Structure 1
Amino acid sequence: MIGIALRTLRHRKGAFAGAFVALLCAAALVCACLMLLETGLRGGVAPERYAGTPVVVAADQYVRQSVDKGDGETKTKAKPLTERAWLPASVADGLRRAPGVSRVVTEVTFPFGASTGHGWESAALTPFTIARGREPRAAGEVVVDARAGLAVGAELRGHRVVGVTAQALPSQDTVFFSTAEARRLAGHPGKVSAIGVFGTGEVAVPEGAVVHTGDERGRLEFLDAEQARVSLISMGGALAGTSLLVAILVVVGTFALSVRQRHRELALLRAVAATPKQVRALVGGEALLVGVAAGVLGAGAGVGLGLWLHGTFVALGTTPANLRLVVSPFPPLAAFLATVGAAQVAARVSARRISRIRPVEALGEAALDQGRLPWWRAAAGAVCVAGGVVLVAVLSGLRTEAAATPVTMLTALLWTVAVTLLGPLLARAAVRVLPLGAAGVSGFLAGRSLRAAPKGLAAVLAPLTLLVAMTCTILFAPATVGRAAEEQARAGLRAGHVVTGAGAAAVARVPGVEAVVPVLRTTVRAGLDKYAAQAVAYDRRVLDLDVTAGSMDAFGEDAVAISGTAAARLGIGAGDPLALTLGDGTPARLTVAAVYARGLGFGDLTLPYDLVTGHVDDPAPTLLVSAPGLAAAALRAALPPGAEVSAVTGGPTGGAAGGPTGGAAGGGANQQAAFVALGLIIAFTAIAVVNTLAMATSGRARELAALRLAGTTRRQVLRMLRLETLGAVLVAAVLGTGVALVTLAAFGAGMTGSATPSVPPVAYALVIAATAGLALVATAVPARLVLRVRPAEAVTGR
């Protein structure tokens, strides 16, 4: 059968071109996503600053917890810290006394503007040497690296440059201070961020310290790389699974359309005594050949797509440049096998009905499309509807974005699968209500055509519905959370100004300032679960968290306020104890003073400012200032040079929107990266729409030629096709919008407490307009090519 399948492909290239394109895109998308996943699992980070140090000792940068496996055994799980953990400086004294250790170098690391600050004591770790000038010796003196472009005597953020190094690190700008000044600026008295050990002896370290060698030094040096690895694992896995599900759905539809267009040919084979097994083998052989060719080319293209994705994430700042992309045979091989498997599944499903009918009925089946739904398809559709209802119920109970996002995509996909399976029934119902007859001769022909071939309309509806549903879900799920966060932050923020680069005391002394609240953003863990948190010196004249239980009057040094969502997740309330791990790994046992409602706008946890200030990498706070009647320009003029003042205008101020209070939804760069990755799925679905419509239009050459021979003009035929396409887009828009609204309502109910999603009218109109534009172009281009052939030649097939 492979030989026959090869000859079939050779003579019917157009019928299989659509399936080939769909499979090729699917292989590329799955391969690229798997490359991200493998990078997260196996990616290494080469050290830069610690490249010249054989052994680096540092505090454990993970939260660890023993979990009972249920059979008497325990398993230790670990999650990375979001801030750098620090070691007591006394550890270095013990290491100096260890046998075989020739030298021990301590260092502190802290942010200094866009650069990284260190004490000159640790210059030997790389090593750095002075090219011009001298080392820093007093407060106010700095040494910059060779890439800074500053000369000795220049000023840098209020400090005088006294030296320039001969070296510069590839991906970080370095500034050196005197040892005493660096430790003061780092804000961790008596502690160091790392200890470099030189010598030949084995290093023994106390509990809580970890030895790093090889590429492990890079992971210690670039803590954001470890966070990026975790993000790539979750993003790559979720996107690979979503891509594969979308690919199977698209490819099944494409193959079904291809088989339907060849129904007469396959029916003739049944009529001349071909067995069902032979017909399935023929279609399976065709799918195997197309799948192998598309899988090989698509897997190769997927490697390039993976490189592009990695480069894009680096440019967005979500992935460090030194987190090397892992390129191995696994992702292309897995993508190839998945593509071939999807092609086989699609072919078997598509050929099932034609291969099982009796030979005498085969030609009749080919000639007449009654749109009847096989029992197995109706049953599968009912199961998908039931599964969609279950997922909607599950989604409405999810309160965290990490848990809700993959379920949201799966919910939209499952409802779309249900629409695809029940497509012929939905198509027959739709053509009865479409007002095509009012559009003259072309409208009459379009209506008759759609009524005569409901399966053809159903084949077109599937990718169109998928495109509308997935695009609306991907675009409007973040908008739903963002709108709720903005509303909460706007309602709870009483400050009139946001100040950075100045001390709270200096701002409080300005005449007209009523209250100043310093804010730090961080992340803490309760057990292994991560929560966004803000640390504030609470003042109700600046912040109103909308307390629902307890009181902020009890908010003090050993207290914490918690959002209602986090309280429900943890099963605690006002007055209960709460054990936390701060961002740098420091344990804290606090008492819940209050439960508040505005968690999206202000973070899941609100901690005392004095508790957190010594446990973050960057202790410089954002100041929220209440100063009624004081203009931003007047406040700026009263502050020291370098202070920045902006007015709170009622726009996005909550953490979910990226504002000063540090809310729940994460950074804008991570959201952009997610949009880029999910945008590839939208692009793949758009390609499927163009592909399917082009195949459907090209496969109607005989029908269009017969209309021309019956006296229909070329313009009337083109207008008929446009009306059919617009009718299909209208039905798909209704179905896709319904799928998206059901999914977004459940998502919103869980994440924001409101089942009303945020759907900006302009953005929604652009989605529908883009879908309609794609569909019309995909119909018009092949239609014009088909109509160039003389009608008589098209009907006879010559």
Structure 2
Amino acid sequence: MIRSIKRAVAFVVPGRRDLSLAWSTIKGRKLGFAGSFVAIAAGSAVITACGVLLESGLGTGVTPERYAGAAVVLSAEQSYWLDETAEVRYSERVTLPASKVAAIAAVPGVKSAISDINVGVSLLTPDGVVNGPDDFPVLGHGWSSSALGPFSVSEGRAPAAPGEVVLDADLASRGDVALDSTVQLVVGSIPSSYRVVGIASPPDELARQSAVFFTDDQAIRLSGRPDRVDAIGVLADPSVNPEQLAQAITAAVPDLVAHTGAGRGDAEFLDVGDARAVVVEMAASFGGTMVLIVVFVVASTLALSVRQRRRELALLRAIGATPKQIHWMIRAEVVLVAAAGAVVGAIPGVFLAFLMRGVFIVAGVMPSDFQMQVGILPILATLVLCMTAARLGGWLVARQVAKVSPVEALGDAAVEPKKLSKVRVIIGLLLIPLGLLLTLNNVAVAGDSAADTAASAVLLFVVAIGCLGPLLLNGAIAVFGSFLTRPFSASGFLAKRNAQANSRRLSAATTPLAMGVTLAAVQVFGASTAMAAAQDQIEDGLRADYVVAASSGTGVSPQVVDTVRGVPGVAVATPVARMRVLVTFPSEDSTATKVYGAQGVVPEGLGSTMDIGVIEGDIAGLRGETVALSRVTAETVGAQQGGTIDLRLGDGSVIKPRVVAIYENGLGFGDVTLPNDLVVAHTTAQVDSAVLIKSADGTDVDTLATALRAALERYPTVQLGDRDELLASPGGGADEGLLNLLFQFVLLGYIAIAVVNTLVMATASRVREFAMLQLIGAGQGQVRSMMRGETRIVVFSALLFGLLATIPPLIGISLGLTKQPIPSISILGLIAIVALTILLAWGAITWATRFAMRPAPIDAIGGRE
């Protein structure tokens, strides 16, 4: 074991003598190593950012508030674990049986066990609805749970009757509520009057909520779950160790999750635990991806750098340098450059982490008060990863150089190798039909997995471009070179011939640019295809004239539906509830679980308010434990009409519903449709998200709107809207889409840096070539014109091959989502991709050309490569 570790360290870290020699080499070739330094520094910044996010997700959170006085807080498991490391968070709060309170209280060391219930409340004042601090919610609880704070009554007394409440001091102050006054509290959509009999305060001010305390019986009645509790707080003597007590409780009482210390905030605030899961998962997966990309980018950059030094390395081989010595030299150079780049990149990486945190907050998957933890561990890990990645890339490059014999080395230094290796060509040619099979044939799993597979298959085309880059470039020059370089002018002739003679070098600039075009186009146009299909389905399928929704975010109570249905002129009122569900299905030799957006509706008159495009079965059978699935979902999970599926509701409840219908418009209305009462019963607040209203034939719409507003006056937290204001995306995927966009933007940004880096290196290294052209009579203007011709070849080839490689994946995505082969192309997105490609290539090559032509030709011609 120790010997293996020593070998691994020796692989990465060279000796002092090697480092000294490498430092001398680097000082003499600063420009040649600058490209590798930039690539590593940029990669270090991204990896550091992911490391900071990962450490923050694992180690920080939000300080508990109402549970601050509890030694241990017990809750139900809020996640479904796919394996030992991967989890999916439930969208609703998973509750505990009330009977566990007594079992926990019997555990030795427990002073008392107190149950807690959360009830969403709105406080109405003459000026409107009063929310919690910074628009956090107002939550109602039973008075006994105030001991978990602990709250102390500063004025008045504890509630003793169903119509009495105690407010926390901050809420009473902001609502201008005095002791013994009467307040209007809305639970769901139903307002009720309560007398304020007390004002209470916790030890520390509440920052993420406001608290209203009812009697315990009234809180249970308002929750609608007489036999369930949200959490159980444990009070213990100060001498009791909370961690040991938590272990004793979980050992004695099964199916509990114990929280101590800062972890108590996860049980109190579900958004904190949700944020932890999302941040850890995405930071870990994206960080791992970036490590692989850094290896390839650094290897490509080093390969270009070594190619520019081929005369020097050939001379070393000719005078007796062994392959092992070449390996040592390159290893030492790489380690020094990697160490410097990793350290320099770590500082902006911390700032990038905070920038990414801002996007997480905007996306709604991270609370604004989620604290970041910046420690030394992510920076050290980044240093190790970057050095290892660079060392691996250097080893791959050194293998090619070191194995060449001295005679062959001198010959290879004179001219650029003409042929690609057979293995490289074969791999590139095989990847193209494999990618076509995955995108355009039935090799991929049906349903949304087909679209996912098509999107992933773009990597095959990207690698194929990398393998066949010089051949593809030669073909483009042969076919389009005359149109791009003005061949009858001296500069145009030089540009075309130079590109043909040095296709390997030019391909080093063209290939990464084409890869960036492909990845960007698939992301942009894949998203535009899905968005356009969803918008079309909503516009075509939405038939309701009005919608009733909550203005305060507390939902719409079922009583509102009955009120609306009684208004003259209302033909159909369809309540709609939302949640995320988990579907488990067979996948190859095991099972897989996917998250889907679900809606709960009543089947009566559903076709009058929304057309979900039923293609099999009958939606009228949607009662009890039944389900309707979108075609894409049904194909993905292998479900058929009349069969059953394994489904977990938002609160973790497991059911096995029978499939009564399959429909087409899942992108617009949600992939899973369940009975409304089933969904409502398993949401945290037990309310609907909205009510869709269809007017009867011949009804005057203005008269109906007036009648509806009059009927809804008794529900002050709901409002009437028209068809244009109806329903955001039902699947709840906006946050995930924004996060994917964030990580793709970071990835493409790194690729852009690598592209510019490569273009600058490839161009700036041509000092002697430009000097020779000027010495034989070419003017500086002609040399620049030649380079503009080469730039046109680079840009055109990158756009041509990059966009061609996107066609099969985009067709596969469109077929998987909509059954239509034509994707939706965003014109603005296409213009942006083309403009950015031109800007990157033109700017980099133009600047590098001016830099390479600064020395006088007579001085440059005698200089080193």
Farther off after superposition, 321-330 or 542-551? 321-330
Farther off after superposition, 632-641 or 696-705? 632-641
Match of 2:148 in 1: 125
Match of 1:72 in 2: none
Match of 1:466 in 2: 515
- Could you say what secondary structure the match of 2:647 adopts? strand
Cα distance, 1:181 vs structure 2: 5.0
Q: Which amino acid aligns with 1:504?
A: V
Q: Which amino acid aligns with 1:630?
A: V
Match of 2:665 in 1: 598
The two structures have a TM-score, normalised by structure 1, of 0.88
Match of 2:356 in 1: 309
Farther off after superposition, 489-498 or 96-105? 96-105
Q: Which amino acid aligns with 2:852?
A: V
Q: 1:490 to 1:161 in 2, by over 3 A?
A: farther
Match of 1:71 in 2: none
Q: Deviations over 1:123-157 (max 9, x none)?
A: 22222334567766665967255277332258777
Structure 1 segment 271-310 matched on structure 2, within 5 A: 271-299=318-346, 301-310=348-357
Match of 1:110 in 2: 119
Q: 1:604 to 1:3 in 2, by over 3 A?
A: same
Structure 1 segment 387-406 matched on structure 2, within 5 A: 388-389=435-436, 392=439, 397-398=444-445
Residue in structure 2 matching 1:244, options 291, 309, 317: 291
Tell whether the 8 Å contact from 1:249 to 1:417 is kept in structure 2 after alignment: no
**2:200 is the alignment partner of 1:176:** no
Q: 1:643 to 1:701 in 2, by over 3 A?
A: same
Aligned equivalents of 2:321, 2:106: Cα separation in 1: 86
- Could you say what secondary structure the match of 2:777 adopts? coil
Aligned equivalents of 1:409, 1:242: Cα separation in 2: 16
Aligned equivalents of 2:40, 2:394: Cα separation in 1: 12
**2:416 is the alignment partner of 1:416:** no
Tell whether the 8 Å contact from 2:72 to 2:235 is kept in structure 1 after alignment: yes
- Could you say what secondary structure the match of 1:48 adopts? coil
**2:485 is the alignment partner of 1:485:** no
Q: Which amino acid aligns with 1:763?
A: G
Structure 1 segment 443-462 matched on structure 2, within 5 A: 443-462=492-511
Residue in structure 1 matching 2:174, options 136, 140, 149: 149
Farther off after superposition, 602-611 or 343-352? 343-352
Q: Which amino acid aligns with 1:644?
A: Q
**2:38 is the alignment partner of 1:21:** yes
Q: Deviations over 1:197-248 (max 9, x none)?
A: 3245975876555554444432222223333333234322331232123222
Aligned equivalents of 1:95, 1:277: Cα separation in 2: 67
Q: 1:757 to 1:171 in 2, by over 3 A?
A: farther
Q: Which amino acid aligns with 1:125?
A: L
- Could you say what secondary structure the match of 1:514 adopts? strand
How many positions carry a matched residue from both structures? 780
Aligned equivalents of 1:796, 1:339: Cα separation in 2: 36
Match of 1:558 in 2: 625
Aligned equivalents of 2:646, 2:27: Cα separation in 1: 69
Structure 1 segment 167-566 matched on structure 2, within 5 A: 167=202, 171-179=207-215, 181-199=218-236, 208-299=255-346, 301-320=348-367, 325=372, 331-369=378-416, 371-382=418-429, 384-385=431-432, 388-389=435-436, 392=439, 397-398=444-445, 411-432=457-478, 433-434=480-481, 435-438=483-486, 440-501=489-550, 503-527=560-584, 529-538=594-603, 539-566=606-633
Aligned equivalents of 1:129, 1:395: Cα separation in 2: 66
- Could you say what secondary structure the match of 2:486 adopts? helix
Aligned equivalents of 2:827, 2:20: Cα separation in 1: 54
Match of 1:697 in 2: 763
**2:826 is the alignment partner of 1:790:** no
Cα distance, 1:471 vs structure 2: 1.5
- Could you say what secondary structure the match of 1:495 adopts? coil
Structure 1 segment 748-767 matched on structure 2, within 5 A: 748-767=814-833
**2:691 is the alignment partner of 1:626:** no
Cα distance, 1:13 vs structure 2: 0.1
Tell whether the 8 Å contact from 2:119 to 2:141 is kept in structure 1 after alignment: no
Q: 1:383 to 1:245 in 2, by over 3 A?
A: farther
Q: Which amino acid aligns with 2:484?
A: L
Cα distance, 1:321 vs structure 2: 5.2
Tell whether the 8 Å contact from 2:602 to 2:622 is kept in structure 1 after alignment: no
Cα distance, 1:688 vs structure 2: 0.9
Q: 1:101 to 1:259 in 2, by over 3 A?
A: closer
Aligned equivalents of 1:577, 1:422: Cα separation in 2: 48
Match of 2:8 in 1: none
Farther off after superposition, 90-99 or 532-541? 90-99
Tell whether the 8 Å contact from 2:794 to 2:841 is kept in structure 1 after alignment: no
Q: 1:453 to 1:120 in 2, by over 3 A?
A: same
The two structures have a TM-score, normalised by structure 2, of 0.81
Q: Deviations over 1:468-502 (max 9, x none)?
A: 12222232333222222222333322212222136
Match of 2:588 in 1: none
Aligned equivalents of 2:386, 2:793: Cα separation in 1: 32
- Could you say what secondary structure the match of 1:146 adopts? helix
Tell whether the 8 Å contact from 1:317 to 1:669 is kept in structure 2 after alignment: yes
Farther off after superposition, 759-768 or 243-252? 243-252
- Could you say what secondary structure the match of 1:197 adopts? strand
Cα distance, 1:12 vs structure 2: 0.8
Cα distance, 1:506 vs structure 2: 2.8
Aligned equivalents of 1:295, 1:138: Cα separation in 2: 64
**2:720 is the alignment partner of 1:645:** yes
Aligned equivalents of 2:475, 2:450: Cα separation in 1: 37
Aligned equivalents of 2:441, 2:282: Cα separation in 1: 21
Aligned equivalents of 1:478, 1:412: Cα separation in 2: 14
- Could you say what secondary structure the match of 2:691 adopts? strand
Aligned equivalents of 1:26, 1:549: Cα separation in 2: 50
Aligned equivalents of 1:785, 1:76: Cα separation in 2: 51
Unaligned runs of 5+ in 2: 1-17, 123-135, 238-244, 551-555, 585-592
Tell whether the 8 Å contact from 2:38 to 2:341 is kept in structure 1 after alignment: yes
Aligned equivalents of 1:395, 1:292: Cα separation in 2: 47
Give the share of equivalent positions with the same residue, in percent: 34
Cα distance, 1:285 vs structure 2: 2.8
Aligned equivalents of 2:442, 2:167: Cα separation in 1: 54
Tell whether the 8 Å contact from 1:395 to 1:408 is kept in structure 2 after alignment: no
Aligned equivalents of 2:331, 2:85: Cα separation in 1: 48
Q: 1:349 to 1:209 in 2, by over 3 A?
A: closer
Q: Deviations over 1:628-655 (max 9, x none)?
A: 7525964764332443333324x996xx
Q: 1:267 to 1:142 in 2, by over 3 A?
A: same
Tell whether the 8 Å contact from 2:73 to 2:258 is kept in structure 1 after alignment: yes
